[in-house]
């Protein structure tokens, strides 16, 4: 009994935290393996084999579908186990609003970042051609624009997780569907402009595997981090306005 009470509190459930983080690693790898695989299948190299060019619009729609529905089903599978977070920026928001503790926060981030690297490496090994899932800014998008786009879409995803999954109501068990479709809707906007990472693990994994080919990788750490803060702030505003009293019967 030489541990202080604070330490006892932080590490009281350390085994559960480790187990949950291990499942987060498997879940994040599942999500990003399918998603990065879909991005690979949308690549221009595949295009040329048919003799017809694909428009960027089709390319982006395919990636949005792949990202959104890979997340949807991966969260559905792991929702009642680790929570199906798969994203350090959501982990941060959950920590900030007090839903997870500091140990689980740190372990989840590590598991998620490693999952992103493993998924990228697997797709590189299993498919021909160069890895297509590295995020970068489109021509004409400056880093400030990139930061704010990433901030807004990450905040939308964070707010979706908090309002759909963390808040308890009749539709809470169906949150994986809403979370996946939120990623889908955000991708439809931003996959062209920034790659729509909304998740540093999603940006970091392919960047590690390809040796950080773009100098703007920091955008995903700053922008997505600001998105965690904005999303958590909006959630706190909703809670402090006691949102559930404003439209009775809804």
The answer to whether residue 20 forms part of the interface with a copy of itself (CB under 8 A) is yes
- Min dist. Cβ of residue 38 to a copy of itself (A): 4
Residue number, 129 or 212, with CB nearest to a copy of itself: 129
**Quick one: which segment of 177-185, 197-205, 206-214, 216-224 binds a copy of itself (CB under 8 A)?**
177-185
Give the DSSP per-residue string, the chain: --S-HHHHHHHTTHHHHHHHHHHHHHHHHHHHHHHHHHHHHTSHHHHHTTTSPPPHHHHHHHHHHHHHHHHHHHHHHHTTTT-----HHHHHHHHHTTSS-HHHHHHHHHHHHHHHHHHHHHHHHHSSSS------PPTT--HHHHHHHHHHHHHHHHHHHIIIIIS-STTGGGHHHHHHHHHHHHHHHHTTTT----SHHHHHHHHHHHT---TTTHHHHHHHHHHHHHHHHHHHHHHHTTGGGTSTT-
Binding mask 156-175 for a copy of itself (x = CB under 8 A): x--xx--xxx--xxxx-xx-
The answer to whether residue 70 forms part of the interface with a copy of itself (CB under 8 A) is yes
Residue number, 144 or 212, with CB nearest to a copy of itself: 144
- Binding a copy of itself by CB under 8 A: which of 178, 214, 216, 222? 178
The answer to whether residue 219 forms part of the interface with a copy of itself (CB under 8 A) is no
- Binding a copy of itself by CB under 8 A: which of 7, 9, 12, 80? 80
The answer to whether residue 47 forms part of the interface with a copy of itself (CB under 8 A) is yes
- Binding a copy of itself by CB under 8 A: which of 12, 16, 130, 212? 16
The answer to whether residue 241 forms part of the interface with a copy of itself (CB under 8 A) is yes
- Min dist. Cβ of residue 201 to a copy of itself (A): 18
- Binding a copy of itself by CB under 8 A: which of 93, 96, 107, 153? 153
Q: Which is nearest to 72 in space by CA: 153, 176, 172?
A: 176
| Binding residues among 124-143 for a copy of itself as defined by CB under 8 A | 125-129, 138-141
Residue number, 4 or 128, with CB nearest to a copy of itself: 128
Residue number, 9 or 53, with CB nearest to a copy of itself: 53
- Binding a copy of itself by CB under 8 A: which of 5, 51, 98, 211? 51
| Phi and psi, residue 3, nearest 5° | -90, 145
Residue number, 211 or 249, with CB nearest to a copy of itself: 249
What is the SS3 assignment for 10-41? HHCCHHHHHHHHHHHHHHHHHHHHHHHHHHHH
């Amino acid at each position: 009994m030489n541990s202080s009470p604070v330490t006892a509190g932080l590490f009281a459930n350390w085994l559960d935290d480790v187990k949950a983080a291990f499942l987060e690693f498997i879940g994040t790898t599942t999500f990003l393996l399918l998603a990065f695989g879909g991005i690979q299948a949308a690549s221009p190299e595949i295009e040329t084999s048919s003799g017809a060019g694909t428009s960027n619009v089709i390319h982006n729609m395919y990636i949005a579908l792949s990202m959104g529905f890979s997340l949807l089903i991966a969260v559905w599978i792991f929702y009642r186990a680790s929570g199906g977070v798969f994203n350090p920026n959501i982990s941060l928001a959950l920590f900030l609003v007090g839903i997870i503790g500091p140990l689980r926060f740190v372990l989840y981030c590590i598991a998620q970042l490693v999952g992103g690297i493993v998924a990228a490496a697997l797709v590189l090994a299993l498919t021909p051609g160069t890895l297509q899932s590295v995020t970068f800014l489109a021509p004409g998008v400056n880093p400030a624009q990139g930061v704010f786009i990433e901030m807004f879409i990450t905040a939308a995803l964070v707010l979706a997780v908090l309002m759909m999954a963390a808040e308890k109501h009749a539709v809470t068990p169906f949150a994986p569907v809403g979370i996946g479709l939120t990623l889908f809707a955000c991708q439809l906007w931003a996959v062209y402009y920034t790659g729509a990472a909304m998740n540093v693990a999603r940006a970091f994994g392919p960047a590690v595997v390809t040796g950080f080919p773009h100098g703007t990788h920091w955008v995903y750490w700053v922008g997505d981090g600001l998105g965690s803060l904005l999303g958590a702030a909006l959630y706190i505003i909703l809670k402090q306005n006691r949102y559930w009293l404003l439209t009775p019967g809804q």
